[in-house]
Structure 1
Amino acid sequence: MQLTTTRLRLDGLRREDAEVLFRYRADPEVSRYQGWRPAFVDDARRFIEACHAVAPDTPGTWFQRAIRWSRTDELIGDVGLHFVADAEAAVELGISLSPAYQKRGIATEALNAVLGFVFDGLHKHRVFGSVDPRNHASIKLLEGVGMRKEAHFRESLRMDGEWADDVIYAMLDREWQACCTAKPHRG
């Protein structure tokens, strides 16, 4: 899977991306609400190696893609697709972006491209994202790409030694077709 937008290219993580991946993924502001945070650069290297073994649309796996600034080929973030094992038509999304590239519409541009790929390319029925309700930026992002709040689970996840709430945002294929294919620029 390689996707391009006006400013971005989404493609595979490379071995040489390990240090950059480590720097932004280990940043407490980026990793605060995420389930994976590398402790060392070697953790990022192992993560990238594991990504190479996963094919898109493999049930029960996460398929991770790099988000690159197209003008410089610089790694600026990553997006993951979790192909849920017991829901053949559902995909969970996750995204991380380097702080230097946040608040510039980049995550929206990347997610719109990924949603187009999932709905139009893979013909999935439902996409969802799990977010901590304290993560206001992610909620704004998910709502901004047309997802709607489906559920709020109280203290359902254990993160960093504490119980955290989990809010689910989702979009169905027909909602994507009605809402987002009419946009002049989906990514």
Structure 2
Amino acid sequence: MKLVAERLYLRDFVPSDIDAVHEYASSTEVVAHQEWGPNTIEQTREYIAGCVFENSLPERTTLELGAVLNDGRLIGGYRATLSESGTDAEIGYSLNPRYWHKGYGTEGARRLIEYLTTELHVRRIFATSRPENAASIHVLEKLGMQQVDLYRKNVLIRGDWRDTLVFAVEIKRLTGG
């Protein structure tokens, strides 16, 4: 799979992505608001192997995609997990800090949402963020998402119970007749 945007494209992860993925997956900055990480190299290898397997399934319900600049540098990853009904999807993303604040996060997420809604006919997209992750909240708002829920101290991250914000956007379709 390859989803082309203006300055980057999203594609299935491949085994040779391990070093580039590990560069951001082992960063304490990247995982500060995540339940996972920072990864060891073995954890990154296992993650990539899982992505390659999942992406090989004919009826996959999770898309694990690398974000690659047009010059070939892998700068992060995106995930979309479809609901059983296929009408809802949760998205998430992680980027190498060297590429933060350049619009790549929004550009990749926008392209992923376009694919989910036009090709897979997903009607509701949602994502989560920690309240203190202002940059991620900004990306979600730029995507047209609005906060729809707040879970108090529901996630344990490195010994601290943290809150979770839930953002969503409904995709409205025009129908003829």
**Inter-partner Cα distance in structure 2 for 1:159 and 1:14:** 28
One-letter code of the match for 2:60?
T
The residue identity in structure 2 corresponding to 1:149 is Q
Partner of residue 80, structure 2: 81
Q: Which AA in structure 1 matches 2:34?
A: Q
Q: Of the candidates 126, 129, 132, which is equivalent to residue 128 of structure 1? A: 126
Instruction: For residue 142 of structure 1, give the secondary structure of its aligned residue in structure 2.
Output: helix
In the alignment, the residues of structure 1 paired with residue 44 and residue 112 of structure 2 have an alpha-carbon distance, to the nearest angstrom, of: 23
C-alpha change, 1:39 and 1:107, in structure 2 (3 Å) is closer
Q: For 2:16 and 2:97, how far apart are their aligned partners in 1?
A: 20
Structure 2 equivalent of residue 36 of structure 1: 36
Query: Which residue of 140, 143, 151 corresponds with 2:141?
Result: 143
Residue identity opposite 2:11 in structure 1: D
Q: Distance in 2 between matches of 1:108 and 1:121?
A: 19
In structure 2, the partner of 1:58 is 60
Percentage of identical aligned residues: 27
How big is each residue's C-alpha offset from its partner over 1:1-26, in whole Å with a ceiling of 9 and x where there is no partner? Answer: 31011110110112111112111111
Displacement of 1:98:
0.6
The one-letter amino acid paired with 2:144 is G
TM-score by length of 1: 0.86
Q: 1:2 to 1:141 in 2, by over 3 A?
A: same
Runs of 4+ in structure 1 off by over 2 angstroms are 55-59
Tell me, in whole angstroms, the C-alpha distance in 2 between the residues paired with 1:81 and 1:49: 17
1:42 to 1:129, Cα distance in 2 relative to 1, 3 A = same
How far apart in 1 are the matches of 2:59 and 2:87?
10
User: Partner of 1:103 in structure 2?
Assistant: 101
Deviation at 1:52, TM superposition (A): 1.5
RMSD: 1.7
C-alpha separation between the residues in 1 aligned to 2:125 and 2:59? 13
Contact kept? 1:56, 1:63, Cα under 8 Å: no
Cα deviation, residue 88, structure 1: 3.3
**Which secondary structure state, in structure 2, belongs to the residue aligned with residue 127 of structure 1?**
strand
Q: Which residue of 2 aligns with 1:12?
A: 12
Q: Deviations over 1:127-154 (max 9, x none)?
A: 1001111101000000011101101111
Distance 1:69 1:84, change over 3 A: same
Q: Determine if contact 1:91/1:126 at 8 Å carries over to the other structure.
A: yes
Q: How many residues align?
A: 172
Residues 126, 170 of structure 1: 8 Å contact kept: yes
- Residue 11 of structure 1 aligns to which amino acid in structure 2? R
User: Is residue 150 of structure 2 the alignment partner of residue 163 of structure 1?
Assistant: no
Partner SS for 1:122: coil
TM-score scaled by length of structure 2: 0.90
Structure 1 unmatched runs, 5+: 179-187
Contact 2:35 2:156 in 1 (8 A): no
Equivalent-residue separation in structure 1 for 2:2 and 2:135 (angstroms)? 26
